[in-house]
Chain A
Amino acid sequence: MTVEHDIEAMDQFPVGMRVLAVDDDQTCLRILETLLHRCQYHVTTTDKAQTALELLRENKNKFDLVISDVDMPDMDGFKLLERVGLEMDSPVIMLSAHSDPKYVMKGVKHGACDYMLKPVRIEELKNIWQHVVRKSKFKKMKSIVTNGESEGNSDQNGVRANRKRKDQSEEEDEDEEEEEEQERGNEKKPRVIWTRELHNKFLAAVDHVGVKNAVPKKILELMNVDNLTRENVGSHLQKFRLALKKINNEANMAAANSHFTQMSSLKGLGSFHHYRPTPLGSSQFHGGAATMRHYPSNRTFAGMFPHFKSSLPRNHNDGGYMLQGKPFPSLETLHITNNNNNKAFPSFTSPQSSPLVASSNHLVLEGHQQSSFPSFSPHLEINKRLEDWSNAVYSNNIPQSNVHSKPDALEWNMDTTKTTSFCRDTDFGSSNAAQADFLDPFQMKQQHENILDPMTVAELSRSSSADEGLFMGQQKLENNFMASDAGSLDDIVNSMMTQV
């Protein structure tokens, strides 16, 4: 079809609607293709789910609608359905010879717009365009809603930006902001934002009761902050303890001083944000977390997440941490700030977690360290921004191994050309020739199955990392909470105290 033809066709919707048909059964595929053509749709066919995904990923707007068989050898139709729903959000119609209601239910649950039984009748296909219209209408509505939300979010950002200016904001202001944010957060889920001030209070409270006796309830009472729950404090405390423990471990793993400092900060950073309980398939991250220990320079750490900079909002690399957009103050400032606020951890003027403690801890010990921290700033804030960032990082870092198995395309072409071997005159299309042709795709299928594995892994890691990105943003360390080493914490606390 020429481009002009396509454009014309688009205007005459549903004529020219672009459909991608996926079915491993070539008979059915051929029939489906013809039926769709008869409905005046623009049809692309493939007998491989893998190829279908590639085609869809190539250009997310390439197709208006996907029709897919349920039972396919290389990928379960429901899985394909999920993927398409996640990645492209195109309407998908399931096709199957299974009339069992449970399959239909499964289709619905996985997000199918419709479920058709084989053999497909042309009357049914004539109406499938309604799903495209419905979906695009739904998308429009959704975007209106999200625009509303994003306005709310930008207000939040504005609020944080305000905080940027107020170096030492009043407690009440902070609380108000938190409340606001929480209220806004109620649209999704209320999250406590551990601001610098809030964290300082936390530290003060912990310090007051002593780390050993630090229980959420007491801390909460001491902090005396509205809208803060014991659970919030509890989880924060967990993270704090965990990070301290890690730092302590790092402290025991002696290296060169400068390396040590950087490493521990890195480790703290890394552990804080990228520690995962069971990295499903995202071995690179697991390896990353582990390998970070050995990174002598923090640049490599940043290098591990090359896209991090771009994805993290307001990622100003002033050579220091970003405290909600504010560059990390130099050590002297920290000291000063520290002396003014609490006598606990000097670096805890940020909502950053223990990694900062670690770093500042060592800063203190070392006397000074230029803020050569990577731009990667571990936000303790468990909020959407972090999730987005995590997602962005992970999705960027998972090798986009959408295996472009060229053989798939070839095979597909082979199949479509092969059929011309049959015509009325011959004895049923030279079944011999057909058989010969048949073997090839069969073999190729075997190949594809082999290719599938890395793809599956990548898929898994992609999906799992996407999930884990969210997971990270929300609950990260709670899963990794280990019994805190109170003794060592005490030491750290004490050493901090004395230094200060």
Chain B
Amino acid sequence: MDAHVAQLQMQYRNYILSLYQQGFLDDQFTELKSLQDDGSPDFVAEVLSLFFDDCVKLVGNMARALDQTGTVDFCQVGANVHQLKGSSSSVGAKRVKGLCINFKELCEAKNYEGCVRCLQQVDVEYKTLKAKLQDMFNLEKQIVQAGGIVPQVDIN
């Protein structure tokens, strides 16, 4: 049992580290984790849930804005990108944030094709992150179910 727990914990640790190393997550995510405590045990999960909801909404807005057969309102797109940048940086979604920075420049340049492409990338990226974090949460669940505690991963 303990071995199993230990194994799971090791798996978890490695997984988290890889997420950081691959640039999916950054320090802000660590901060977020540090805010989670016994008082709010699901804090990270809650926030991430909100974040992904935001992603769905904002990507939808941007898709609509870029889908205009008439003139594309780049300001509108830009505003949504800006918001996505804000929230992604707040949760530590590093790759998504990086894409947003590019996206913003494309909006300012009114590069339609560039924007469309970038939006697709954002879409892929946040969904990927979502899947990865889901795996992470599942691991946590397994650890807890196996009687262990979720380890604090030191990212350094």
Contact A34 B54 (CB under 8 A): no
Contact B49 A429 (CB under 8 A): yes
Cα distance A435–B82 when bound, in Å?
A: 21
State which of B42, B50, B133, B134 has its C-beta within 8 Å of the C-beta of A27: B50
Tell me the nearest residue of chain B to A435, going by C-beta.
Answer: B56
**Chain A contacts for B130, CB-based, 8 A:** 428
**Chain A contacts for B52, CB-based, 8 A:** 428-429, 431, 434
Contact B85 A30 (CB under 8 A): no
- Write out, one digit per residue, whether chain B residues 79-90 have a CB within 8 A of any chain A CB (1) or not (0): 100110111011
Q: Interface size class for chain B?
A: 35 or more
Contact B89 A421 (CB under 8 A): no
Cα distance A25–B90 when bound, in Å?
A: 10
Asked if B140 is at the interface of the complex by the 8 Å CB criterion, the answer is yes
Asked if A188 is at the interface of the complex by the 8 Å CB criterion, the answer is no
- Write out, one digit per residue, whether chain B residues 109-146 have a CB within 8 A of any chain A CB (1) or not (0): 00000000000000000000010011001001100000
**Chain B contacts for A421, CB-based, 8 A:** 49
Tell me the nearest residue of chain A to B100, going by C-beta.
Answer: A97
**Chain A contacts for B35, CB-based, 8 A:** 31, 34-35, 38, 122
Closest CB in chain B relative to A213 CB, distance in Å: 60
Contact A30 B45 (CB under 8 A): no
Asked if A423 is at the interface of the complex by the 8 Å CB criterion, the answer is yes
Contact A27 B141 (CB under 8 A): no
Given contacts A423-B45, A424-B42, contact A27 B137 (CB under 8 A): no
Given contacts A119-B28, A424-B140, A428-B52, contact A97 B86 (CB under 8 A): yes
Cα distance A414–B88 when bound, in Å?
A: 23
Give the size of the chain A interface in residues (CB under 8 angstroms): 35
Contact B90 A118 (CB under 8 A): yes
Contact B89 A118 (CB under 8 A): yes
Asked if B46 is at the interface of the complex by the 8 Å CB criterion, the answer is yes
Identify which of residues 69-96 in chain B touch chain A, using a CB-to-CB cut-off of 8 Å: 79, 82-83, 85-87, 89-92
- Write out, one digit per residue, whether chain B residues 34-52 have a CB within 8 A of any chain A CB (1) or not (0): 0100001011011111111
Q: Residues of B at under 8 Å CB distance from A? A: 28, 31-32, 35, 40, 42-43, 45-54, 56-57, 79, 82-83, 85-87, 89-92, 130, 133-134, 137, 140-141
Closest CB in chain A relative to B150 CB, distance in Å: 10
Asked if A419 is at the interface of the complex by the 8 Å CB criterion, the answer is yes
Asked if A121 is at the interface of the complex by the 8 Å CB criterion, the answer is yes
Asked if A71 is at the interface of the complex by the 8 Å CB criterion, the answer is yes
- Write out, one digit per residue, whether chain A residues 16-31 have a CB within 8 A of any chain B CB (1) or not (0): 0000000011111011
Contact A30 B86 (CB under 8 A): no
Contact B48 A31 (CB under 8 A): no
Contact A25 B46 (CB under 8 A): no
**Chain B contacts for A423, CB-based, 8 A:** 42, 45
- Show 20 A/B contacts (Cβ-Cβ < 8 Å), sorted by A: A25-B54, A26-B53, A27-B50, A27-B90, A34-B47, A118-B86, A118-B90, A119-B90, A121-B31, A422-B48, A422-B50, A423-B42, A428-B48, A428-B49, A428-B52, A428-B137, A429-B45, A429-B52, A431-B53, A431-B56
Cα distance A431–B52 when bound, in Å?
A: 8
Tell me the nearest residue of chain A to B37, going by C-beta.
Answer: A38
15 additional A-B pairs beyond A34-B35, A97-B82, beta carbons within 8 Å, are A24-B83, A25-B86, A27-B47, A28-B86, A30-B46, A35-B35, A69-B86, A71-B79, A71-B83, A97-B83, A97-B86, A419-B49, A422-B45, A424-B137, A434-B53
Contact A98 B45 (CB under 8 A): no
